[in-house]
Structures are given as C-alpha cells and as structure tokens.
C-alpha cells in the first residue's frame, strides 16, 4: 500500500537530507580554505572542530525540515513551494547557528564564510536532490507504478472537477477507482470513471483494503449523508479527505477562524483588509507615484504638447470610474480621441480602427502612455500602483449581473497595472477571465506579488496589443 511505502520513503528522505547537510557543511570548509584559499592559515580552526558541530547541526536541520513541511506529501505541490520550504528551513537554521555560535557560546573563531557557503550549498544540493527525486517519481507514476487508488463518495461538480484535474496530471499518480452515489444509476461514467453503486456499498468496499484514499465529493443536496460517511471511513482507517461542492463560493485557500472551538470559514479572505497591509501598500503607492511622476515628467510634457496640437479639446480626459468600496472617482488619461458628447462617450468601448481615435492617440494607447496621468490618481488615493483595473459605472452595473463575483474586485483600490494586465488581459479581452485573475490577486496579495507585477509591467505590460 502507498501509505506503507510513504513511511519508508520519508525515512529515506530524512537519511538523504541528513547526508546532504553533513556533506554540505564539510564541503563548505574545503571550498573556503582549499579552493578559495591556499589552505588553512595560522589561527584557522582545523576541520575536526567543525566536525564536532555536526551532531547538533544535522538533527537540528532535520527538525526544521519537518517543521517547515519539507516532508509533507508533494504529489500535487508545485516545485517552487517545495524549494521555498527548503529555503525557509535553511534560513532559520543559519540564523539559529549564527546566534548560538557567535552570541550565546561566543565561539567567534568559526568562519562566517564557511557558514555562508554551507547555507548556499545545502539549499542548492537539497533542492537539486528533490527535483531529481520528483522527476523520477513522476516518470514511475506515468508508467503505472507508485499509484494512489481513490474512491469518490458522491457525484457532484466537485467530483467532476477533481477527476478532470487528476486526468490532466498523470504525474501525480492518482487513479480514481469509481464513484458511489445515491441518485446516479450504476454504470454511468464520467471520462472513464464509473459509478459503482450507492453509498451503502462503502461498508463492503472498505474492508477489502485496496484503497489508499477516500475523497468525499457529495453534492450540496446530499450533505445529510456526510456524518455517516465520515464515520464509516474513519472506522476503516483509510485516509479520507473532503472536497466541498461549493468551490464557486469559497476560494481555494479560505480564511478560517476558531470561535471558541467553533470553526468559522470566511467566504473571502482579503489580505488588504488588514490595517498593517493597507499602510504598507499605501506607503509604496505614495513613494512609487512620486517617483513615477518625476521620472516620466518629460514624456508626459511631450505627450501633452502632442495631444494639444493633434485636435481641439483638453489635454487631460477625465472619466468616471468605480473604485474602492464601489465609490466613484474621476480617472485621468491623456485624451486620445476626438471630443464627444457625454451620451456618445457612454456608448461603448473603443474598437479596432475606431475613427474617434486620433493619430497621436493610437500611439499613446498602444504604448500605454495615455495612462501616465493616473499616477496623480494614485497620489490622491483613488488608485494604487497595482490592482484590478477600474471600470465605468454603466459597465459595472451590467457585469455584476452577468459575471459571478465581479464585485469582489471593489474590495481593494483599482490599479494602474494588475495581474490580469501583465498576463495579456487588457483592452478588448475576456471580462470573465480578467475577473478570475483579479480575484486571485486580491486573495493572494503580498508586497512581493506587487513588486513582481510592477517588474512584469516594465517587461511585458507597456505595449498593449488589444488597445484600439
């Protein structure tokens, strides 16, 4: 069974990691004093003194690997998350080593360079070993080895989505043996997975001990069966997981609270509702917008002159948009179209070869230079450097009825650039797809994520192929 193999596999991983940690530490000494230098000089501690640290370093690092989830199952975890766990454990380990050696027991003769080289080597070698191991296991799974056999309890949207993901990722090594359901007749199949019978068959299937996991995928209307199904599964000792049939309502990483023993699931976790996060983001917006205004002022001055010369009308075009908490504000742009009446302006989006766009306007829109005045919106607090793009009130009213979760985007300030925009969803592109990217950004916001989007904007975001 997989669960027995997993125990053996985890023990082998611990042994391998322990060996890599010990080798990295000793190798760091030889790199420092025999490769980078001509050998240990006077006053340098011999390698035997470093050996004495290994009985403390190796178990300590294995404990950190365990605490940082390095040994948790990685079938469906992305490689970067595994490497992040390794990096996190090694960073904590190095910090602890420095504090203990140089501040607590004051062993100042141990080389700081050796510690730094050890950190780099251990992260690199452990990560490489994991990548090689992952590729080897995925190859084995694709060939039919090291598979996990799963039974789904309940036919629902969640069951179909789960099967879809498993079939599109054979490297995970999951095999769905069948589905049990009270309402779908036996023999019904979904992409090759057959309904085997009713929930009552669970008591007869589990004793056969041929399953590695049970996935409860009951539809909402069948949740009355949930308690009984869980009770049967736990008595069997088979690992059981619950895949709720309300993924369209609750995000993949819901924010849960413990209310004196009562679990409470928040429908939407928005990191930017935290006061500290809001202050950090606002500080970055102020600094970033001021810097942007200073750097781009020559471009904005030239653009203003060209706009003024290209056609009659104001240089700056103000348009009502919906922002944070559904409040309207006026967003600034360089005018790129001929002057229109308010009624004409509300008719719709710009389309390809739109006659209203001026010659200079085409260049400004294609290069996104027409958006630069929004740096002043950011400075005022109407917008942010990064966030969902704001929309006009009439389209907000339309989309909130047509597109599920559309209004979630108004829980944060709109942005000059965003996760959807740097992924090519700009101008005349799918609104539904944009909202998916916007909600992902809102639920997964970090300062690092903002910086990543800003950098991606510089490399991919200025030329807008969908701008007309």
Q: Summarize pLDDT for 389-423 with one digit per residue, the tens.
A: 999 999 999 888 888 788 889 999 999 999 998 88
Domain assignment present for residue 466? The answer is no
Please list the residues that pair with 397 across neighbouring strands: none
Residue that is last in its domain, among 111, 127, 142? 142
* Same domain for 127 and 158: no
Q: Which residue has the tokens 């409040």?
A: 327
Domain assignment present for residue 347? The answer is yes
The overall average pLDDT reported for the chain is 85
Distance from C-alpha of 14 to C-alpha of 30, rounded to nearest angstrom:
25
* Same domain for 180 and 65: no
pLDDT number for residue 345: 58
Q: What are phi and psi of 106, to 5 degrees?
A: 55, 45
Domain assignment present for residue 124? The answer is yes
* Same domain for 159 and 126: no
**Per mean pLDDT, which of 127-131, 256-260, 384-388, 453-457 is the most reliable?**
384-388
Say how many C-beta atoms besides its own lie within 10 A of residue 236's C-beta. Answer: 16
pLDDT interval class at 3 (50, 70, 90): very low
Residue that is last in its domain, among 85, 109, 142? 142
Domain assignment present for residue 190? The answer is yes
* Same domain for 23 and 124: yes
pLDDT number for residue 209: 66
Distance from C-alpha of 212 to C-alpha of 232, rounded to nearest angstrom:
15
Q: What does 286-299 look like in DSSP terms, one character per residue? A: HHHHHHHHHHHHHH
User: Are the C-beta atoms of 195 and 178 separated by less than 8 Å?
Assistant: yes
* Same domain for 113 and 49: yes
Residue 229's domain spans which residues?
148-247
Closest residue by Cα to residue 439 from 296, 271, 192: 271
pLDDT number for residue 348: 57
Tell me the CATH number at 228. 3.40.50.720
* Same domain for 308 and 455: yes
Domain assignment present for residue 261? The answer is no
pLDDT in tens, 317-374: 898 999 999 999 999 999 888 766 665 555 555 655 666 778 788 888 888 888 999 9
Higher-pLDDT residue of 118, 212: 118
Count of the separate structural domains present in the chain: 3
Residue that is last in its domain, among 178, 212, 247? 247
Both tokens assigned to 421: 């925009």
Q: Which residue has the tokens 């400075």?
A: 379
- Whole-prediction pTM: 0.57
Q: Which residue has the tokens 């004495």?
A: 52
Both tokens assigned to 360: 């200079």
pLDDT number for residue 2: 44
* Same domain for 306 and 445: yes
Q: Which residue has the tokens 């969902």?
A: 388
Domain assignment present for residue 216? The answer is yes
pLDDT number for residue 443: 86
* Same domain for 122 and 55: yes
Distance from C-alpha of 294 to C-alpha of 292, rounded to nearest angstrom:
5
Closest residue by Cα to residue 58 from 11, 122, 104: 122
pLDDT number for residue 344: 58
The stretch 113-138 carries a mean pLDDT of 91
Half-sphere exposure in the Cβ direction for 389 (13 Å, CA): 20
The stretch 425-448 carries a mean pLDDT of 85
* Same domain for 323 and 364: yes
Percent of the chain with pLDDT over 70: 89
pLDDT number for residue 218: 92
* Same domain for 240 and 102: no
Both tokens assigned to 42: 């006077």
Distance from C-alpha of 164 to C-alpha of 158, rounded to nearest angstrom:
10
Tell whether the model's pLDDT for residue 244 goes beyond 90. Answer: no
* Same domain for 428 and 309: yes
Domain assignment present for residue 421? The answer is yes
Tell whether the model's pLDDT for residue 468 goes beyond 80. Answer: no
* Same domain for 378 and 319: yes
Domain assignment present for residue 154? The answer is yes
The stretch 174-200 carries a mean pLDDT of 91
Q: Pseudo-torsion of CA 153, 157, 160, 162, nearest 10°? A: -80
Tell whether the model's pLDDT for residue 1 goes beyond 50. Answer: no
């Amino acid at each position: 069974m997989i669960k027995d193999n997993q125990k053996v596999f985890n023990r082998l991983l611990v042994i391998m990691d322990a060996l890599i940690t010990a080798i990295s530490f000793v190798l760091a000494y030889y790199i420092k004093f025999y490769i980078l230098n001509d050998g240990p000089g006077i006053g340098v501690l011999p390698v035997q003194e470093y050996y004495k640290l290994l009985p403390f370093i190796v178990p300590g690092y294995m404990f950190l690997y365990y605490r940082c989830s390095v040994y948790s199952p990685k079938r469906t975890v992305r490689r970067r998350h595994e490497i992040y766990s390794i990096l996190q454990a090694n960073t904590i380990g190095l910090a602890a080593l420095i504090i203990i050696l140089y501040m607590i027991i004051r062993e100042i003769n141990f080389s700081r360079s050796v510690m730094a080289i050890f950190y780099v080597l251990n992260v690199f070698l452990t990560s490489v070993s994991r990548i090689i191991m992952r590729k080897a296991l995925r190859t084995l799974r694709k060939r039919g080895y090291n598979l996990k056999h799963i039974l789904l309890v309940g036919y629902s949207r969640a069951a179909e989505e789960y099967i879809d993901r498993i079939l599109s990722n054979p490297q995970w090594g999951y095999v769905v043996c069948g589905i049990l359901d009270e309402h779908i007749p036996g023999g019904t199949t979904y992409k090759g997975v057959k309904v085997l019978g009713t929930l009552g068959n669970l008591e007869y299937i589990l004793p056969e001990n041929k399953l590695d996991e049970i996935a409860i995928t009951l539809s909402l209307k069948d949740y009355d069966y949930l308690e009984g199904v869980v009770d049967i599964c736990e008595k069997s000792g088979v690992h059981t997981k619950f895949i709720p049939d309300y993924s369209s309502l609750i995000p993949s990483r819901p924010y849960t609270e413990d209310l004196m023993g009562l679990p409470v699931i928040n429908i939407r976790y928005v990191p930017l509702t935290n006061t500290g996060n809001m202050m950090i983001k606002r500080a970055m917006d102020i600094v970033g917008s001021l810097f942007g205004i200073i750097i781009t002022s020559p471009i904005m001055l030239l653009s203003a002159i060209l706009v003024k010369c290209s056609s009659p009308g104001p240089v700056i075009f103000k348009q009502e948009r919906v922002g944070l908490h559904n409040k309207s504000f006026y967003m600034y742009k360089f005018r790129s179209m001929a002057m229109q009446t308010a009624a004409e302006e509300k008719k719709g989006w710009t389309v390809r070869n739109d006659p209203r766009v001026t010659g200079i306007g085409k260049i400004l829109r294609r290069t996104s230079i027409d958006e630069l005045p929004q740096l002043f919106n950011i400075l005022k607090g109407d917008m942010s450097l990064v966030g969902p793009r704001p929309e006009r009130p009439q389209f907000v009213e339309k989309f909130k009825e047509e597109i599920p979760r559309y209004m979630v985007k108004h829980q944060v300030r709109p942005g000059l650039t965003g996760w959807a925009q740097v992924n090519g969803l700009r101008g005349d592109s799918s609104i539904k797809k944009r909202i998916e990217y916007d909600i992902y950004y809102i639920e997964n916001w970090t300062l690092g994520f903002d910086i990543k989007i800003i950098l991606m904007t510089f490399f991919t975001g200025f030329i807008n192929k969908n701008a007309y």
